[in-house]
């Protein structure tokens, strides 16, 4: 009874949200963010509809850039397995959508529709889906229920359930239990497996397969990264990736402190959200630092590298970690939960994080325990950590080697995922053949 009420309330609320979004997106003079809501109503353009129209398809959903990058090695292998199928990729963000459209693995890229019954059904009706994959914590009850009703094999890949979700488990379980009934959950860790079971997943469908982020192979660096490497010359670069509001100020203050007496330093600052770029640029200028945007590097005079480079392009961050000597990973000095520490570790760089790393807790703890990462709690302690490493290059190199070794030791998740997927799809085909 409680479960039916929860599902009914959720679906009703999402239907109302979709109706409001449809109205808001059509209002004359509506803000751009309101107009953008129209892209999440399950409607495709003529070209996209022609691609989708009844074609056998497989679909992978990843929330944003980080999740999509992590899933790409698996997506490539799925493309090989489903060579004659349309490969659909969806995300929740515009930056993720841009990356999906640039990815050779995706034949059709779109924003995931709002999780309302009519919106979801309208979009699913365009496809003849043979499998659906979603990453990490992207549990959308209406979508998963509609997939189950159509008999589409569905997989949670690189599954993760954070402590924040578990704090609301009492309220989420009535909603999630039905949604997860027919989902094969390939979880990152034993703790994630325990948590997804607590949310109502079928124990027969839960297995630990590891994190796909360990297997994500770096592509060849684009020309602009090579230009940055040439421009840096012998300068040492600190990379602060995926920073949030309230965090950039601490990073810049720490950089100011370590810059004294170390004139060969440059800071690459990469805000997590592109809409914050102008505000962050103002912070840098207000701090008295010379500044250039990454997209403007080609216009810089040779040898005139500024104190701070603002990364204003989606995609190159992983390559930029490899150009730096130390990496700070953001979302961790402020209570966001932390971001991808595997990219700088794979590049063989010491990793610095703040106290808030719930979203990557298992990996961060492995790096810290293995002598590859350090925790800091303020601008002052970040400055002390940076200065200590910059003044001890042997220690810095050793931490980098440990970081890379820990990442290499965690690889193999793609193969484990593929075995689970192949077994389930074989069972599904057998069941259908048996009638």
Which of the residues are catalytic?
67
Closest-CA residue to 376 (of 218, 227, 258): 258
Instruction: Kindly compute the dihedral angle of the four CA atoms of residues 16, 22, 25, 26, in this order, to the nearest 10 degrees.
Output: -130
Closest-CA residue to 357 (of 378, 382, 386, 333): 333
- Report how far residue 42's alpha carbon sits from residue 112's, in angstroms, rounded to the nearest whole number: 8
CB-CB neighbours of 98 under 10 Å: 16
Q: Is 198 in contact with 216 (CB distance < 8 Å)? A: no
Residue 399, CA distances (Å) to 84, 313, 350, 395 in order: 45, 28, 5, 6
**356 backbone dihedrals φ, ψ, rounded to 5°:** -100, 90
Length of the chain: 435
Please work out, in degrees rounded to the nearest 5, the angle formed at the alpha carbon of residue 144 by the alpha carbons of 142 and 194.
115
Residues 6 or more apart in contact with residue 418 via CB below 8 angstroms: 74, 77, 81
Beta strands 154-159 and 183-187, pairing class: parallel
Q: Is 371 in contact with 399 (CB distance < 8 Å)? A: yes
- Report how far residue 123's alpha carbon sits from residue 130's, in angstroms, rounded to the nearest whole number: 15
Please work out, in degrees rounded to the nearest 5, the angle formed at the alpha carbon of residue 277 by the alpha carbons of 271 and 282.
115
Q: Is 357 in contact with 164 (CB distance < 8 Å)? A: no
Residues 6 or more apart in contact with residue 195 via CB below 8 angstroms: 161, 165, 166, 169
CB-CB neighbours of 210 under 10 Å: 20
Residue 15, token pair as written in the block: 């239907």
- Sheet with 265-271, edge to edge strand ranges: 291-293, 308-310, 265-271, 236-243, 326-329, 351-353, 373-375
């Amino acid at each position: 009874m409680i479960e039916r009420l929860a599902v009914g309330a959720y679906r009703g609320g999402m239907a109302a949200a979709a109706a409001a979004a449809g109205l808001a997106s059509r209002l004359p003079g509506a803000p751009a963010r309101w107009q953008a809501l129209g892209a999440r109503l399950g409607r495709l353009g003529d070209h996209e509809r022609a691609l989708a129209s009844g074609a056998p398809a497989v679909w992978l959903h990843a929330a944003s850039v980080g999740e999509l990058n992590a899933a790409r090695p698996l997506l490539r292998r799925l493309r090989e397995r489903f060579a004659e199928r349309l490969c659909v990729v969806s995300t929740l963000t515009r930056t993720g959508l841009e990356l999906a459209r640039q990815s050779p693995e995706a034949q059709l890229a779109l924003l995931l529709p709002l999780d309302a019954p009519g919106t979801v059904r309208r979009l699913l009706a365009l496809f003849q889906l043979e499998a659906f994959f979603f990453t990490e914590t992207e549990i959308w009850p209406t979508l998963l229920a509609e997939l189950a009703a159509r008999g589409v094999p569905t997989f949670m890949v690189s599954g993760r359930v954070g402590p924040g979700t578990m704090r609301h488990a009492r309220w989420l379980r009535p909603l999630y239990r039905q949604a997860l009934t027919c989902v094969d959950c390939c979880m990152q860790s034993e703790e994630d497996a325990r948590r997804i079971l607590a949310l109502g997943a079928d124990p027969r469908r839960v297995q630990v397969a590891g994190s796909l982020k360990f297997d994500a192979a770096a592509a060849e660096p684009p020309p602009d990264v090579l230009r940055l490497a040439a421009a840096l010359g012998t300068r040492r670069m600190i990379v602060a990736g995926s920073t949030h509001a309230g965090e950039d100020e601490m990073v810049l203050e720490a950089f100011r402190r370590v810059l004294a007496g170390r004139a060969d330093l440059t800071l690459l600052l990469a805000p997590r959200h592109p809409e914050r770029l102008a505000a962050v640029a103002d912070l840098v200028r207000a701090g008295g630092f010379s500044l250039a945007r990454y997209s403007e590097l080609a216009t810089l005079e040779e040898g005139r590298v500024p104190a701070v480079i603002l990364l204003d392009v989606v995609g190159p961050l992983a390559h930029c970690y490899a150009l730096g000597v130390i990496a700070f990973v953001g979302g961790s000095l402020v209570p966001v939960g932390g971001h991808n520490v595997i990219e700088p570790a794979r590049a063989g760089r010491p990793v610095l994080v703040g106290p808030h790393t719930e979203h990557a807790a298992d990996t961060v703890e492995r790096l810290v325990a293995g002598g590859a990462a350090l925790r800091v709690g303020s601008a002052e302690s970040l400055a002390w950590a940076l200065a200590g490493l910059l003044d001890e290059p042997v220690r810095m190199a050793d931490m980098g080697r440990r970081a890379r070794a820990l990442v290499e030791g965690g690889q193999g998740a793609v193969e484990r995922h593929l075995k689970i997927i192949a077994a389930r799809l074989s069972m599904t085909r057998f069941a259908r053949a048996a009638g």
